[in-house]
Amino acid sequence: MGDANARILDGRTSAPTPPPQRSGPPRGRASAASVRGVARPRLWFEILLIAVSYWTYSLIRNAVPEQKTQALRNADWVWRAEHSIGIAVEHTVNHAMNAVTWLIVAMNYYYATLHFIVTVGVLVWLYRRHPGRYAASRLVLFLTTAVALLGYYFFPLAPPRLMPGGHFIDTVMVHDTWGSMASGNLASMSNQYAAMPSMHIGWSLWCGLTLALLARHVWVRVLGALYPVLTLVVIVSTANHFWLDAVGGVLCLAFAFAVARLWYGTSLSRLPRLPRPGPAPTRPSEPSPSGA
């Protein structure tokens, strides 16, 4: 009887076994994010890359022909455009801030130094604290800068302080502060008509968003959010940029973030903070003993 039941059970058709569920990330864009940016960035390579990239950026920016006539014509067009939409208050801000000597001198040094110091500081912080997000964030910064070079070439623009008859105050010249390559003795080393878009805004907004989204402490996030706002006030107060130059910087950064999202398949804040370890190397199987 037991043998008959066993034969009946053996003869039954068993139900198909469901395929095992995939536990890893889905294929497509999400998996791209887990593949790209996995390796921990190498310090020597990053230092070399940043140095060479900034040297190349400066070389190209300063090699763009200084088309003075066209730059002044474009500045007049921007100034009239701002008047037509009711935001042409740069002259008022410039003169009001210049009336407070200690404040405008501090803004001159802010403009000349923090643009580089804070950006490099945020890169170092990302490298140490968020190495899994570092490469993607660096890509955004580099793309923002690359797009800006196109603006410098195709739309040369004089800053407000160089507009004849604009009655803007060149605060670096008036207060004889050092460090800025935009005015004074160092002006000949820099392209004076590369004002659109403003990379002071592009870089400061990149720093601010990075800190506001990724920093753990609330006070750091607040400082990150305030940094691009203060930078906007500084670039207008020192007559180095129009409001619309800042808009150009924001558009460059937005484009860079969009490209990075497409490339990594997710937003930068959703990438893993630490690099994911690669698969462990497999050892060759040992031959089984003879006779086993």
pLDDT tens-digit series, residues 165-195: 889 999 999 998 875 555 555 555 578 888 9
Of the pLDDT bands very low, low, confident and very high (cuts 50, 70, 90), residue 224 is: very high
Neighbours of 4 (CB within 10 A): 8
pLDDT tens digits, one per residue of 140-149: 999 999 999 9
pLDDT tens digits, one per residue of 241-292: 999 999 999 999 999 999 999 999 988 888 888 876 655 555 555 555 554 4
| 287: three-class secondary structure by DSSP | coil
The angle that helices 131-154 and 199-214 make with each other, rounded to 10 degrees, is 160
DSSP state of 187: G
Q: What is the mean pLDDT of the chain?
A: 82
Q: Kindly give, in sequence order, each residue whose CB lies less than 8 Å from that of residue 41, ignoring residues fewer than 6 positions away.
A: 127, 131, 134, 135
Of the pLDDT bands very low, low, confident and very high (cuts 50, 70, 90), residue 79 is: very high
Look up the pTM and report it.
0.78
pLDDT at residue 98 in the model: 96
Most trustworthy range by pLDDT among 79-83, 113-117, 153-157: 79-83
DSSP helix, strand, coil percent of the chain (3-state; round to 5): 65, 0, 35
pLDDT at residue 18 in the model: 54
How far is C-alpha 186 from the chain's CA centre? 27
pLDDT at residue 9 in the model: 45
Q: Which residue has the tokens 């006070």?
A: 219
